[in-house]
A = this chain, B = another copy of it.
Amino acid sequence: MKPIMSKSEAAELVRSARVRHGLSWAQIAEKLGTPLVWTTAALLGQHPMSPEQADTVCGMLELDDTVAEALRTQPSRGTDPQVMADPTIYRFSEALAVYGPALKELIHEEFGDGIMSAINFKVDVERRSDPEGDRVVVTFDGKFLDYRW
């Protein structure tokens, strides 16, 4: 028996097939009817997909069922530290290193002692046109959870 393909191997196949078919992440998300960032993250291995979602994606990308099976499994979430150093990702970490303590102060000021959930949570990325150069706007939107004993 062969074990279920790992989610990172499946992600590599999805990424390759997407490029070869000339499809965008947005087209895949639209076909699935799921949010754009969620869809991309799920296909990169960070969320389990429903059987229907997995089948739809594998149909679009002409990938076989071993990939769909992997897309359905529960992930172990997170990203390799070396990948986190890629400049496109690193800028977000740098922004946190600069603004993290300020965000903490302001969350406590506005909401009291607690956190923004990273589980009951969504992210969106969009382009905002600007005469001085278009802007990347990323929104983190999580339920406030207060420290409650």
CB distance A138 to B113 under 8 Å? no
Q: Is the interface of A mostly helix, strand, loop or mixed?
A: mixed
Residue of B nearest to A81 (CB): B82
CB contacts (< 8 Å) of A146 on chain B: these are 119-120
- On A, residues with C-beta under 8 Å from B are 1-4, 9, 12-13, 15-17, 19-20, 24-26, 35-38, 40-41, 44, 46-48, 62-64, 73-80, 82-111, 113-123, 125, 127-128, 130, 132-149
Between-chain CB contacts (< 8 Å), 26 pairs:
A1-B16, A1-B62, A2-B16, A3-B13, A4-B12, A25-B106, A35-B149, A36-B106, A38-B149, A44-B102, A44-B105, A76-B83, A77-B97, A79-B101, A84-B96, A85-B97, A91-B142, A93-B93, A95-B140, A99-B123, A122-B149, A130-B143, A134-B143, A134-B144, A138-B140, A139-B139
